[in-house]
Amino acid sequence: MERVPVLVVGGGYAGLSAATLLAWREVPVTLVERRPGTSVQPKAFGVGPRAVELLRPVPGIEEELTGLWAGIGDGMRIAIARDLADPEPHLITDGEHAYLADLTPAAPVGVPQADVERVLRVKAEELGADLRFSTELVSLEQDGDGVTALIRGKDGDSLVRADYVVAADGHHSPVRRALGVPTSGHGTLSRMCSIMFDADLSDLVREREVTLWYLRNETFTGVLVTGAGAGAHVLGVHQAEDEGPFPVERCAELVRLATGRPGLDVRILDRATFGIAHELAGTYRAGRVFLAGDAAHTMPPTGGQGGSTALQDGADLAWRLWLVITGQAGPAFLDTYDAERRPIGTLTADAQLAELGARMPPAARIGYPERQTDPLHALLGHRYHSTAILDEPGDDGSILEDPRQAGGRPGSRAPHVVLDWDGQRISTIDLFGPGFVLMAAKRGRQAWMEAGRLVKERLGVRLTRLPVDDELLDVEGCFEQRYGVRGGGAVLVRPDGYVAWRSPEAVADPAGTLERVLRQILSRPISGTAPAVITRG
């Protein structure tokens, strides 16, 4: 029987991000995917800045994604129109992302899911992840010590014994069903045929490259994603429930209707049907199995955050599992995944359901909620609440905030501040990923740095100590204000770039305080000082 710390089921966004970031942290991981390879269809389009922040610590990923995006235009524009030739489309967004520059060094990238999956697959394999395509999970049984999985591949059946399983096996998630995890939501809302085609749309696209069009006309409602002029494009058209896949001739006819060009020369490259659904898992954890991506939260594509949310799920599980597997955190720490990610998954799914009602009303058969989420808040303003966050007195428990007003409070994404490190300009965001980071204000930095050294040795925790305005120069003089540590305090940031705890002021016993904080955050006993055995760092 094979043994591995983590078995990942599913090779989409959530599964590949989990496998990549586990392998980067030197945690052995096996991924099984029933398909022969990564996606052929573009599927989800665009990766949000928060997902990019979580992927960018892995060398090369951000550069490859931005390289695929380079030269395509200044961002994705979204419009509602009759067809692509509509002279007066209703513009939803102009694609400009300049406002994000003050909040993060990670820009969103308008890359199709098929390309992102290929990048992640290559990177995961380079880092040592065992990725097995054309391989499916047949069954699993778990006990108090692990999970035994029967998998079936080209060479027959075999057993794998894993400490933990990441179920990233899609909307219908056989793993979720086998575990009896309940779901809620509106279920399947409609069906869509996705048509990948090759045509020259240069005279229509002009300066509007990589534009997402929501189309409404007498024949159909759907969505069209255009590439840069000639080449591959994708049209999604709503189908009746009893309709099978459209024949090639029908697909070509729909493309011509969507583009407003009756004589367009069209070559159909691929066809696929899928359901648009709104379904939410009642828990993201069932023993040693964790749900991620569509297995945890299936949402309509309107709004464009489904793929990024799945990527974040996988990345989030990777650092939490790493901490527990290496002994830096106690087993109960893994409960924080459900506590933190499920409210965000629900909020995002509901927001995209509202967008479906606004952008594709003919497809609506239910009463949709009204749009309430500020797009900027949804991109970078998620807040977490769990035992891995030490809330401050008076915290209102909100799960969304304006990231421009976050102020470094626990449960918030750590603010972007420009620093100078040996003559090189970096962001505080560049410091997060490999482990915990302790940053101290100028007045109290010596005491906090010594406390960090002592606690790191006592607990065996991967902790980087960074005194601001010593090794790191606060270029704009705003670190203390943005992180709320003006009184000689310090701030502790988690591997995912979220503030776990802060002390606005200096304290009498910084080492004792920091040790108690880390023990509480990591679900470790308050007494005892034996160091953990760590495989990385």
Q: Does domain 382-521 have CATH number 3.40.30.120?
A: yes
Of 87-101, 298-312, 366-380, 447-461, where does the model show the most confidence? 447-461
**Of 373 and 109, which is predicted with more confidence?**
109
Q: Which pTM value belongs to this model? A: 0.91
- Could you give the CA distance from residue 304 to residue 352 in angstroms, rounded to a whole number? 8
pLDDT of residue 460: 97
- Residues involved in catalysis: 214
Does residue 270 surpass a pLDDT of 70?
yes
Sheet holding 230-239, edge to edge: 90-93, 77-81, 211-216, 221-225, 230-239, 183-200, 267-281, 297-298
Q: Are 191 and 221 in contact (CB under 8 A)?
A: no
- In tens, the pLDDT along 195-236 reads 999 998 888 765 545 468 888 888 888 888 886 556 778 898
Q: Which H or E run contains 126? A: helix 113-126
> Mean pLDDT across the stretch 300-320?
93
Distances (CA, A) of 125 to 29, 48, 68, 234, 282: 10, 24, 20, 29, 33
Least confident among 7-11, 78-82, 415-419, 500-504: 78-82
- In tens, the pLDDT along 385-408 reads 999 999 999 898 999 999 988 889
CATH fold label, 2-72+106-185+278-349: FAD/NAD(P)-binding domain (3.50.50)
Pick from 489, 508, 504, 497: nearest CA to 440:
489
- Could you give the CA distance from residue 451 to residue 345 in angstroms, rounded to a whole number? 37
pLDDT of residue 89: 82
Domain 187-275: CATH superfamily is D-Amino Acid Oxidase, subunit A, domain 2 (3.30.9.10)
| Residue ranges per structural domain of the chain | 2-72+106-185+278-349, 187-275, 382-521
pLDDT of residue 531: 39
- In tens, the pLDDT along 123-149 reads 999 999 999 999 999 999 999 999 999
Give 8-47 as a DSSP string: EE--SHHHHHHHHHHHHTT--EEEEESSSSS-SS--SEEE
pLDDT of residue 361: 57
Chain mean pLDDT for the chain: 89
Please give the single-letter amino acid code of residue 381.
G
Does residue 530 surpass a pLDDT of 50?
no
Does residue 241 surpass a pLDDT of 80?
no
- Could you give the CA distance from residue 162 to residue 322 in angstroms, rounded to a whole number? 14
Does residue 103 surpass a pLDDT of 90?
yes
